[in-house]
Structure 1
């Protein structure tokens, strides 16, 4: 009998498993070994500090972000007093799983199938990767951290089958030294309807490799062709492709994260990827931590309502950031004209400073009210077309 079975071994599931094991709970983590999520791999200093990530996991430290508009306008934003850490999910996720196992979590490699309660106790049924046989784990609680198309969410939690998501695709390539438009010390974000009609494309350096990809909610978009075009535009067509990956990325936290009985969701399964930016690693790990906190509280008190703590704790700290980012996406990702205006707005020094202070610290910066006022007025001017898109 386990106290908690965690379904999923990505950043969210591995974090939850480690936290639970360190707190003395008997925990099993079911990981679908071999799956690598498509991801730009950007992590902020806040994540590195909060989750004790060693330097050897960072493949690069990026100090400049470049925003590129539909007309090719380029805005370089220096990351003052900080950096964006870049990780490779193939290595980073496994590091987190190994650390959870070292903390005491029982790692199982396999694919989650279903939850059964017919015998009077809760059982998680999964297919063991090595033998191909179905296995059962008895448990008191379950954390569903099995991704954007979560089987746990769909079967156990109201609204789990209706999470909006972007389909993301990227290619990990052997990265050259600085060549063409590629700079190994800069993250490029491309806002161009020819690459993505409703999201963006990216070129993110990972040291000896790079992630080149894009995402879209629009059905029928040729993700592979858009990525090929992106590589060509940056002089990266001839670089060797190491692997190709695609997966959904959710864009809205679910209204409910638990089933009021024995299941709580975490990470992508709960929809906690930041709108507009698509940033997910930090929020996934926070989601895993609050799910572990809620599970521990429930086990200690015997009150199933304590499972609701996961969403309450997360939204207390991040609701406003998600609301602002969702407003930005709704306002600026609708057309190339809007995207052009968004990149133009990024010329503003106040926008640059507040954006990266918020990114690195993971909270809205309130210290400069006049800067917020100026940004609000400029934002309004662009959205109402009072200024041309070329205005800076």
Structure 2
């Protein structure tokens, strides 16, 4: 009679090696837990790559990973009116995701996490109730099927997370923006492109995106040109081609093209009440309106790791709930405001025109970047909030011109 092979047992299996998963694996390994980090090869995700200085401080990330520092955001209205918003005393850092994510995974491995290349396929339980996870080994789905056991599982496997869909009720109802970008060589001196090496350009124009925005984000030697929308069937590639032509960026070399869904609303439930918790895009923690996700993914990854650690130490699976509770207590108000902003102001070009007009206001500019830098709603300037309220009201009622 053939003996059934004994499966490896880990304290935690982290599925997904992006910013959320790599951060969670690092935190848990650093705490002395046995961790397996499972990440599939060839991951692609359209991402502007913007990170706030707060991320460098919170997660001990070196400045050397920044490939550019942005000092201005330029927003462009449907009628091509532009507003330049200076960052102020700080900057917006830009990272290349392939380099940045790999650095995070390497750091997790150096802390003790075991890295494996493979694709998650199935979640089950053994006779003892411990999760048994199946995955295809290697760089393709045709790889050999392998299994491991883990007391806890963190699903950080992206917007259409298979872990979430197998383990978390109603996760399939998540809302997503369909995003696409092209990474190109940045223009050099003498090129006629409308381009700023230290400036992020954001286009609020229906032909480029009917309900989100299009962007040109410089990354030093390369630049990301992309767009996103909630509308299925919208021609994302055609929109990016149009943007490149109108900005003169159709003359520079294309390095690669990527497309993927990006969540725009946190899921109402992140854990199964027993041994699985979500983080990053799998949990839906990309900011509405802005699409910013790296900082929130890493924060969610840390909270998921701490919740799992508490559950392992106490034996109480209710600790897993704390990941979402902590995140929403800290960032939920910002997400709520951004969701309202996107729902109202991005609806049509008339409203987008008025939105860009509001962004000329210095109070709006100051509070926007104060909030971005500190990752919370700014409460220190009540009079500025009052002024912004009445300016918004004027634009909403048509008393103010766009």
TM-score (norm 1): 0.98
CA distance in 2, matches of 1:379, 1:271: 28
Match of 1:166 in 2: 177
TM-superposed CA distance for 1:349, in Å, is 0.1
Indicate which of 76, 90, 95 corresponds to 1:87: 95
- The corresponding residue for 2:165 is 154
1:237 counterpart SS class: helix
Q: Distance in 2 between matches of 1:47 and 1:33?
A: 26
The answer to whether the 8 A contact 1:22-1:104 is kept is yes
Quick check: 1:331–1:383 contact (8 Å CA) kept in 2? no
Unmatched runs of 5 consecutive residues or more in structure 2: 1-8
Helix, strand or coil for the counterpart of 1:341?
A: helix
Q: Distance in 1 between matches of 2:136 and 2:195?
A: 43
Whole-angstrom CA distance in 1 between matches of 2:297 and 2:253: 30
Q: Does the 8 Å contact 1:177/1:183 carry over to 2? A: no
Quote the residue 2:373 is aligned against. 360
Q: Is the 8 A contact 1:62 1:83 kept in 2?
A: yes
CA contact (8 A) 1:36 1:89 kept: no
TM-superposed CA distance for 1:36, in Å, is 2.6
Alignment of 1:1-392 (within 5 A): 1-120=9-128, 121-129=130-138, 132-177=143-188, 179-389=192-402
SS state of the match for residue 181, structure 2? strand
Provide the aligned length of Structure 1 versus Structure 2. 389
Q: CA deviation at 1:62?
A: 0.5
**Structure 1: distance between partners of 2:126 and 2:108:** 31
Give CA deviations for 1:262-320 in whole Å, capped at 9, x if unaligned.
10000110110000001000000001000000000000000010000100110111011
TM-score w.r.t. the length of structure 2 is: 0.95
For 1:340 and 1:276, the matched residues in 2 are separated by 15
The Cα of 1:177 is off from its aligned counterpart by 2.5
Equivalents in 2 of 1:146, 1:367: separation in Å?
A: 37
Q: Structure 2 CA distance, aligned partners of 1:237 and 1:180?
A: 9
1:64 Cα offset (Å): 0.4
Q: How big is each residue's C-alpha offset from its partner over 1:41-88, in whole Å with a ceiling of 9 and x where there is no partner?
A: 000010111111112211100000001000000000111110000011
Deviation at 1:158, TM superposition (A): 1.4
CA contact (8 A) 2:181 2:257 kept: yes
d(CA) in 1 for partners of 2:43 and 2:283? 19
Query: 2: CA distance between counterparts of 1:234 and 1:59?
Result: 22
* Structure 1 SS opposite 2:249: coil
Q: Return the alpha-carbon distance in structure 2 between the equivalents of residues 230 and 90 of structure 1.
A: 24
The two structures, once aligned, show a CA RMSD in angstroms of 1.0
